[in-house]
Amino acid sequence: MIDEDGGDMTGPEQPDLNQWAFRVRPAIEQFETGWRASYPGTEWSVIASTEGAARQRLQEEAENRRRSGVDPFEGIYRKHLREAIPGVYAMDNALYREVARTSGYDQTLLQTVFEESERRRAAGQRYTLAEYRAEQAT
């Protein structure tokens, strides 16, 4: 498999994306004649007359790319795990499932845990379900 930068993605050094949960926060900006929306790390964007329409078109474009057989996020996820991309968050998938299930998918709590996971990853520390549970017990 070749990533969006032309690099080989089949080597054993590549992380198993299934062990991670990801969140990508869209970048939305207003300009003179409308709104531009994109996902961090992508080379494509959409333009619309309102912020809401730009968000909607961005989601639709990502879905169109998926339907055509291209995962618009796989390259971003892999790149993010090598070098942090602002607006992209990753956490251990088992941790994500536990926090989501026990919180009723509380998006504020999930974002807090995503941010903590990113902080620790940047510091070279692990933050798995085991670490999370140990901290919750204290």
Q: What integer pLDDT is reported at residue 15 of this predicted model?
A: 83
Residues 6+ apart with CB under 8 A from 93: 18, 19, 20, 21
Count Cβ neighbours within 10 Å for each residue of 70-95 and write b for 16 or more, e otherwise. Answer: eebbebbbbbbbeeebebbbbbbbeb
Q: What's the pLDDT band for 57 if we cut at 50, 70, 90?
A: very high
Residue 4 has pLDDT above 60, yes or no: no
* Contact status, residue 39 vs residue 76, Cβ threshold 8 Å: yes
- Tell me which H or E stretch contains 113: helix 107-122
Q: What integer pLDDT is reported at residue 81 of this predicted model?
A: 96
Residue 10 has pLDDT above 70, yes or no: no
DSSP designation for 8: B
Residue 1 has pLDDT above 50, yes or no: no
3 in a structural domain: no
Residue 6 has pLDDT above 60, yes or no: no
Q: Mean pLDDT of all residues in the chain?
A: 91
Q: What percent of the chain has pLDDT over 90?
A: 87
74 in a structural domain: yes
State which residues form the domain around 26. 19-137
Q: pTM for the complete prediction? A: 0.82
75 in a structural domain: yes
9 in a structural domain: no
Based on the structure, what is the number of domains in the chain?
1
- In degrees rounded to 5, what are phi and psi of residue 14? -75, 135
4 in a structural domain: no
Q: What integer pLDDT is reported at residue 73 of this predicted model?
A: 95
100 in a structural domain: yes
14 in a structural domain: no
118 in a structural domain: yes
Tokens 């499932």 label which residue? 97
